[in-house]
Chains A and B, each alone.
Chain A
Amino acid sequence: MRKGLRFNKGAEETVRELLRSLLESARVSGVLTLGRTGGADGGVAYSLFTDPDAFGTDGVALPLLPFMPANAGGLLSRLTLKRPLSEPIAAVVRPCELRAFIELVKLNQGSLDNILLISSTCGGVYPLDVGANGSLQERLPQYWEAVEQGELDDDVRSTCRACGSFVPENADITIALLGETDLEAQCTLYLNTEKGATFVDGLEGAEETPMPGDLETELIQRVYSQRAACQDALFAEVDVGLKGLIDTFGRCISCQACKTVCPICYCRLCYFDSQDCERPLEFYQGELKRKGGLRVPSDTVFFQLGRLAHMSASCVGCGMCTDVCPADIPVSTIFSKVGASVQALFDYQPGRDVEEEPPLRTFEAEELAQVVM
Chain B
Amino acid sequence: MEEFTPNIVGFLCNWCTYAAADSAGVSRFETPPSVNVVRMMCSGRVDPLFVLTAFLRGADGVLISGCWPGQCHYQKGNLHARRRTAMLKSIFDTLGLEMADRFRLSWVSASEAPRWARVVDEFTEHIEQLGPSSVYEELFL
Contact = CB atoms under 8 A, between A and B. Distances in A.
A271 interface: yes
Interface in A13-62: none
A301 B82 contact: no
B5 to A, nearest CB: 16
B-side interface size class: 35 or more
Given A250-B140, A293-B139, A301-B141, A309 B49 contact: yes
A244 B96 contact: yes
Interface string B13-29: 00000000000000000
Contacts of A310: 48-49
A271 B49 contact: yes
Interface residues of A, number: 42
Interface in B100-139: 104-107, 119, 122-123, 134-139
A365 B69 contact: yes
Contacts of A271: 49
Interface in B42-83: 48-49, 52-53, 56, 58, 69-70, 76, 79-80, 82-83
Contacts of A295: 139-141
Contacts of B105: 371-373
Contacts of A367: 82
A294 B83 CA distance: 33
Contacts of A302: 52-53, 56, 141
Given A292-B139, A360-B83, A373 B123 contact: yes
Contacts of B139: 291-295
A241 B97 CA distance: 5
A246 B56 CA distance: 12
A313 B98 CA distance: 21
B91 A242 contact: no
A271 B122 CA distance: 34
Interface in A243-288: 244-246, 250, 271
Contacts of B97: 240-242, 245
A305 B54 CA distance: 13
A342 B48 CA distance: 14
Of the candidates B70, B97, B119, B134, the one having the most CB atoms from chain A within 10 angstroms of its own CB is: B97
Interface of B: 48-49, 52-53, 56, 58, 69-70, 76, 79-80, 82-91, 93-98, 104-107, 119, 122-123, 134-141
5 contacts: A305-B56, A338-B90, A341-B90, A371-B86, A373-B105
Interface of A: 238, 240-242, 244-246, 250, 271, 290-295, 299, 301-302, 305-306, 308-310, 312-313, 334, 337-338, 341-342, 345-346, 359-360, 363, 365-368, 371-373
